[in-house]
Structure 1
């Protein structure tokens, strides 16, 4: 697992005196052989600029089935990703050129901004990834751009339709409980967009953000998850809609050429 570093000028987290990777301090030991293998592999590539690890593993918040998320910044024009098992750990590796990552972050891609802002740079040969990380951190702390008004109206209208469909179903039916679960997640993401909070693919993360921002609203969603009751789902969703102006029954868009 040793790393030859003569050709690598490291700007971020530097290897230790033995030339080995400096692991994120909170990372569990079970992830380290897999991360070291990817580190060695990428540092040996002449086209590799930087390597970044992000997610629950470097933060020390991994669950038993958590994977290891790694981004590699390279020269060139190709982007690719792979999932593989290394030492019993599932590694999700995404590799792309610097300009690709930069453009995605400038466009406001929430996953990439989160990854570069909160992740750990393991090496950076040119310093360009360090600059990109600082930009992502600034964007992350500013929060996402406010969506267009049409987005809010469309989402209010669609969520309102889900509430009305659910109200027409038998509360004890399987269909009602299925729709209730989907509707609650839509309402939770709509709340986050309304509050200019970065979206996250894991509902548990969005729920923690809701608990920190609006405990009374969080109590309503917790009541749903404790009971799976469509009535609790409607109560939570209506509370979210009320913050955005209530249910919306009429919606239209401007004509556009097709």
Structure 2
């Protein structure tokens, strides 16, 4: 029941609120956007003062409610903003932006929210030509390994299939300069517009790819994965293993 998790949250927060090195706390995740299920934990993000030399994450069950918490100094949160953005992710920025402020002693929660929103708006850099060529080869190699495993009736073929599908999504997202959808959310982000908007993800710019990807996700066959990868190759300038070559600068001579 709704009252149960709210009472558990209040009890949890009281223990942190009395500590002088805690500046703010936010409710985030599915409960913050109203999309929780019976398997959802209550996510809490705790902002620590910058003179704290540690960070912490943990889980605690209060009256049957699972609470997952993250506690970080302000400087650590800002580091996550930058570090994750460099990896085509806005995970921490999203946590802060969608978060509901539970308390804010110093005003830092609103400051961080404003900074996080800037990361949510900032475009990602597109990868260079060398990265693109290496990425295309990696997809070809993963598909080739899958075909070999299937031909040998190797039990690992299902594992290889989903690794390759995940890699395809990662590669194409980076190539397009968009955020890489988290594996656990990819299907709902592509299928459920309400879910996508609640978590502030942009609509994926290539609808044909989305349909191919979903088909490959729903029907685990090598030919469906191959259609996904072939589409990516076409958008990335083509790929032919026959004659493929990549020459880059070696280390300077000693």
TM-score by length of 1: 0.77
**Residues 234 and 52 of structure 1: CA distance in aligned 2, closer, same or farther (over 3 Å):** same
**Residues 57 and 44 of structure 1: CA distance in aligned 2, closer, same or farther (over 3 Å):** same
CA RMSD of aligned residues (A): 2.8
Name 1:61's counterpart in structure 2: 35
Match among 188, 196, 207 for residue 215 of structure 1:
207
Name 2:183's counterpart in structure 1: 202
Tell me, in whole angstroms, the C-alpha distance in 2 between the residues paired with 1:245 and 1:125.
53
Name 1:243's counterpart in structure 2: 235
8 Å Cα contact 1:54/1:118 also seen in 2? yes
Name 2:46's counterpart in structure 1: 72
**Residues 170 and 99 of structure 1: CA distance in aligned 2, closer, same or farther (over 3 Å):** closer
Match among 70, 94, 114 for residue 94 of structure 2:
114
Do residues 142 (structure 1) and 122 (structure 2) align? yes
Q: Spell out, residue by residue over 1:118-163, the C-alpha distance to the aligned partner (whole angstroms, 9 max, x if none).
A: 2222221111231121111111122434445543333222112112
8 Å Cα contact 2:127/2:174 also seen in 1? yes
Tell me, in whole angstroms, the C-alpha distance in 2 between the residues paired with 1:252 and 1:62.
50
Tell me, in whole angstroms, the C-alpha distance in 1 between the residues paired with 2:35 and 2:175.
28
Tell me, in whole angstroms, the C-alpha distance in 2 between the residues paired with 1:106 and 1:99.
11
Match among 157, 164, 180 for residue 176 of structure 1:
157
Name 1:101's counterpart in structure 2: 77
Runs (5+) with no aligned partner, structure 2: 193-202
Secondary structure in 2 aligned to 1:246?
coil
Do residues 227 (structure 1) and 219 (structure 2) align? yes
Runs (5+) with no aligned partner, structure 1: 1-26
8 Å Cα contact 1:34/1:86 also seen in 2? yes
Tell me, in whole angstroms, the C-alpha distance in 1 between the residues paired with 2:181 and 2:139.
19
**Offset, 1:241:** 2.8
Secondary structure in 2 aligned to 1:237?
helix
TM-score by length of 2: 0.79
